[in-house]
Amino acid sequence: MAYKTIIGLEIHSELMTNSKIFCNCTTEFGGDINTHCCPVCLGLPGALPVINKKVVEYGIRAGIAFHSDIARETKMDRKNYFYPDLVKGYQISQDNIPLCSGGFIEVEKKDGPKEIRIRRIHIEEDTGKSVHSEDGGSLLDYNRSGVPLIEIVTEPDMNSPEEVKEFLEKLKATLEYIEVSDVKMEEGSLRCDVNINVVEEETGVKTSITELKNLNSFKAVVKALEYEEKRHIELLKEGKENLKETRRWDEVNNETIVMRIKEGAADYRYFPEPDLVKMEIEEEWIESIKKNLPELPHDKKERFMKEYDIPEYDAGVLTQSKYLAAFYEETVKYSDDPKQVSNWIMGDVLRRINDEEIEIKDLKFTSKDLGELLKLIEDGKISNNIGKKVLRDMFDTGKSPSTIVKEKGLIQISDEGALKEIVEKVIKNNEQSIMDYKNGKDRALGFLVGQVMKETRGKANPQLANKLILEIINEK
């Protein structure tokens, strides 16, 4: 039997405005519990909301970046449901006239690019946060209540966890590039709900849709989808029906757990928000936003390939984050070899960043420091291997490469006279390797160079050592 997985996403992204969507309270993350609140975001009787124009602008900015149609007239609606952290008993959101409609994000497939369609992008307010104690009690923090969000809803166009991961990575990068959200999943700035079901292609029989909530990382999204994909296939194989339900991902047991039966749109009893007037979006404003939009990831990738003559793969990796792209471009200013810069950032730098789970902007050293390190290697002052050791020290101490090289005496031995003495000593102690080389075993030369590097603690110029070894062997 052949099975097809069908996946759609609902992504909530907090916007980087200074104040909340309907009041002047700060949107800053953290702060003492219930100190970033006022009568408006607490929903007290008589308090009236006023729309934050910057929220609408950021929503339009996202819509343009994702090729959406921008509504020329739109409104806010009340979405009614009960949840302890929903202080008013309703959420001010958008129903039938979203700010942005349509759009797409392109993901790469083996047989070419695939467009994942976006159904809508709308603006709304965030809820508060429930804080659960060990004794079973729950407290409420309303600092987050009223923080502005955009909700991005896709069509069910994704068919694998891998597609979902790539889509989310591209979406996250774009939101970061256009500077509407800091997309920090660990702080709740980017949250993702997933809808999944599976169809048996021969019969057309489908499982009911499951919504997955509380996914706080792309890794959790992939793992939860892999679990649900298998669970839905088993339901089809066994001929069982499943309810349309909401589940959460249990990170400890690596399984999904039922939370509740999924609500339908009718359960929310939408109606136009009576305290806010309709919004008319002027064409000139949209054009102004479009004109001032920063360079997007795809455009930057194309420019990197042309301007720095690096492969498409390198350009794709380097532009996955605006901070990484900026770090690369700054480093290139201090180096004569853009490809070497790319190799070092994609290799040693990103490997350490991923291991330590930090961001490029959290590094203790600057792009100028990395450029200086690569220049030392290009100029033959230190070897490539010494460079890797220096980089490790830069990660740990934040010191400049020249300071580390000076303190540890790591300058490469490029003096022919000094190095010749060491080479002669190595050759004298390894007569068998010379015979092996003369008998056609080329690896013996590499062994001899390695011995010279060992003797000099990695400070010998390997090209010069190679040259001197060959000269002495040929004289014998």
Residue pLDDT, tens place only, 314-332? 999 999 999 999 999 999 9
CATH architecture of 416-475: Orthogonal Bundle (1.10)
pLDDT beyond 90 at 348 = yes
Please report the pLDDT score of residue 385 as a whole number. Answer: 85
Residue 33 banded pLDDT, cuts 50, 70, 90: very high
Q: What is the DSSP string of 198-242?
A: EEETTT--BPPPEEEEEE-SHHHHHHHHHHHHHHHHHHHHTT---
Phi, psi (degrees; rounded to nearest 5) at 82: -100, 130
Find all residues with CB under 8 Å of 275, minimum gap 6, and list them. 48, 49
Cα Rg of the chain (Å, integer): 29
pLDDT beyond 90 at 36 = yes
pLDDT beyond 80 at 465 = no
The Cα 346–Cα 166 span in angstroms is 18
Q: For the chain, what is the total number of helices (H) and then of strands (E)?
A: 16, 17
CA-nearest of 313, 369, 374 to 346 is: 313
Residue with tokens 């970046």: 65
Supply the mean pLDDT for the chain: 90
Please report the pLDDT score of residue 198 as a whole number. Answer: 96
- With a pLDDT cut of 90, the percent of the chain lying above it is 68
Please report the pLDDT score of residue 185 as a whole number. Answer: 85
Please report the pLDDT score of residue 422 as a whole number. Answer: 75
pLDDT beyond 70 at 343 = yes
462/286: higher pLDDT: 286
Both tokens assigned to 46: 């008589």
pLDDT beyond 60 at 415 = no
Please report the pLDDT score of residue 266 as a whole number. Answer: 65
As a dihedral over the C-alpha atoms of residue 199, residue 205, residue 206, residue 207, rounded to 10 degrees, the angle is -120
pLDDT tens-digit series, residues 379-412:
878 888 889 999 999 999 999 999 998 888 777 6
pLDDT beyond 70 at 344 = yes
> What is the end-to-end Cα distance of the chain in Å, rounded?
72
pLDDT beyond 80 at 12 = yes
Mean pLDDT value of segment 76-99: 93
Please report the pLDDT score of residue 473 as a whole number. Answer: 67
pLDDT beyond 60 at 59 = yes
SS3 393: helix
Task: Lay out the sheet containing 271-272: strands in order across.
Answer: 90-93, 77-80, 271-272
Burial of 338-370, coded b for 16+ CB within 10 Å and e otherwise, reads bebbbebbbebbbebbeeeeeebeebebbbebb
pLDDT beyond 60 at 438 = yes
Burial of 307-337, coded b for 16+ CB within 10 Å and e otherwise, reads ebebeeebbebbbbbbebbebbbebbebbee
The Cα 309–Cα 134 span in angstroms is 57
The Cα 324–Cα 306 span in angstroms is 18
Q: What is the DSSP string of 57-123?
A: HHHHHHHHHTTPEEPSEE--EEEE---TT-TTSEEEE--SS-SEE--EEEEEETTEEEEEEEEEEEE
Mean pLDDT value of segment 181-192: 89
Per-domain boundaries in the chain: 3-285, 295-408, 416-475
This prediction's pTM: 0.84
pLDDT tens-digit series, residues 136-179:
888 999 999 999 999 999 999 999 999 999 999 999 999 999 99
pLDDT tens-digit series, residues 271-309:
999 999 999 999 999 999 999 999 999 999 999 999 999
pLDDT beyond 90 at 84 = no
